[in-house]
Amino acid sequence: MANIKQIAELAGVSITTVSRVLNNHPYVQEAKRQAVWDAVHKLNYSPNSNAVHLVKGRTGMVAVLLPFVNHPFAGMVLEGIAEQALLNNYRLILCQTNYDQNEEKRVLDMLKSKQIDGVIIVSRKGKWEMVESYASYGPIVACEKVDSEVISYVHVDRYRGTQECFRYLVEKGYRQIGFSLGTSGTHNGKKRMQAYLEGIGDLKEPVRPEWIFENCYQMEDGSQVVQQLARLKERPQAIMVAGDLPAAGMITEAKKLGWRVPEDLAIIGFDNLPLASILDLTTMNVPSFEAGKVAFQLFIDQILERRNKLKERKIVTKKVELPLKFIIRGSA
């Protein structure tokens, strides 16, 4: 394999000049620049990426850790991240974990071994204490609220959003209210469940476990929820859903069964995906694309902070909260 010394000899320039050309240094005579590139092509030279990473101190790659790549919410966050990554000449490594904590750790190990410059966590299940232990190896940014001095985050207040959805149903006269969410094992899931249980408590209604559904992410999951409700002797008047996709599945399945929405079952989603307006779904608008853009900017800010800081200075993290907006339509 050709090396820089051979390129320099063939081009008739110094090794320093070759290095400057390969790194796009502006102060090189055009004739010498062309001679170097001619030699590069003639020798079929390809730079050793690991060596380049060592010299530059960065890989130009950031991992995006997310549970599923086929979920619209994650997709919209990813779009925001990708837009900013392109503008900043960064490449993304998508790491789907299925909420497997071992997979989450493998991604963080990539940061430790300098295969990537940082990690943006869209959602995770592992403990933050474990995540924090990797923060010294590079920037870690979360798309949820984190009580941490070493992790920057952008988030929306899903606890408050769930409270607002619940209050709306109560104001509309509903008291028997069910709940569907992805998982109660994450920070957001726990906060959503807390808001729901507090609402039920305020109504002095009993908690009905058969009206609470977990692991609901896709339309088919929502369809299965309605099928289960149909088998119950007593079903809720309304159901809050922590995502528009399963809510859409519920609307579709309810209509198949001849149920009227909202008369027989009121349904509220969360996210305000494009299909929500098509299905006339009442929902909570989450600025997912903007969250992705902000998350990447927080990553870049950390990169610059770490590059410019003195060793004794503490890394400054940033906390950003984006606003939610309740969208009233015909499903509730």
pLDDT at 2: 75
For residue range 242-301, list pLDDT tens digits in order: 999 999 999 999 999 999 999 999 999 999 999 999 999 999 999 999 999 999 999 999
CB 144 within 8 A of CB 188: yes
Q: What's the pLDDT score for residue 54?
A: 46
List of residues 6+ apart from 227 with CB closer than 8 A? 253
* 190 backbone dihedrals φ, ψ, rounded to 5°: -65, -40
Distance CA 136, CA 164 (A): 38
pLDDT at residue 232 tops 60: yes
In angstroms, the CA 217 to CA 314 distance is 39
Residue 184 neighbours by CB distance under 10 Å: 18
In the predicted model, what is the mean pLDDT of residues 198-221? Answer: 96
CATH number attached to the domain at 158-285: 3.40.50.2300
Average pLDDT estimate for 25-30? 83
Q: Is 276 left (phi over 0), alpha (psi -120 to 50) or beta?
A: alpha
Mean pLDDT along residues 176-189: 90
Q: What are phi and psi of 118, to 5 degrees?
A: -175, 175
pLDDT, tens only, 144-167 = 999 888 999 999 999 999 999 999
Report the topology of domain 4-47.
434 Repressor (Amino-terminal Domain) (1.10.260)
Residue 296: predicted pLDDT? 97
pLDDT at 20: 83
58-156+289-324 homologous superfamily: Response regulator (3.40.50.2300)
* Contact call for residues 157 and 324 (beta carbons, < 8 A): yes
The predicted model gives 313-318 an average pLDDT of: 75
pLDDT digits (tens, 9 = 90+) for 40-99: 888 887 765 555 444 455 789 999 999 988 888 888 999 999 999 999 989 999 999 998
Q: What is the pLDDT of residue 52?
A: 47
Q: Are 131 and 124 in contact (CB under 8 A)?
A: yes
How many Cα atoms within 13 Å fall on the side-chain side of residue 58?
15
Taking residues 23-32, report their average pLDDT. Answer: 82
- Measured CA to CA, the distance from residue 170 to residue 45 in angstroms comes to 69
Within 8 A by CB and 6+ apart from 275, the residues are 244, 245, 248, 281
- Torsion sign over Cα 105, 111, 115, 119: positive
**Other C-beta atoms lying within 10 Å of the C-beta of residue 206:** 9
Output the pLDDT for position 269: 98
Say what percent of the chain tops pLDDT 70.
Answer: 94
5 neighbors 15 (Cβ within 8 angstroms) = yes
| pLDDT value of position 309 | 61
| 56 vs 7, residue with greater confidence | 7
List Cβ<8 Å contacts ≥24 apart for 143-151: 143/77, 143/291, 143/292, 143/295, 144/186, 144/187, 144/188, 145/187, 145/319, 145/321, 146/187, 148/317, 149/317, 150/315, 150/317, 151/317
31 Cβ contact partners less than 8 Å away, ≥ 6 residues apart: none
Kindly report the average pLDDT of the chain as a whole number: 91
* pLDDT on residue 27: 82
Amino acid 205: pLDDT: 95
The pLDDT assigned to 175 comes to: 96
Single out the residue of 105, 111, 109, 139 nearest to residue 124, CA to CA.
105
Range among 14-23, 278-287, 307-316 with highest mean pLDDT value: 278-287
Give residue limits of the domains in the chain. Answer: 4-47, 58-156+289-324, 158-285
Q: Tokens in use for 246?
A: 């399963």
58-156+289-324 and 158-285 have identical folds: yes
pTM of the model: 0.79
Is the pLDDT reported for residue 16 higher than 90?
A: no
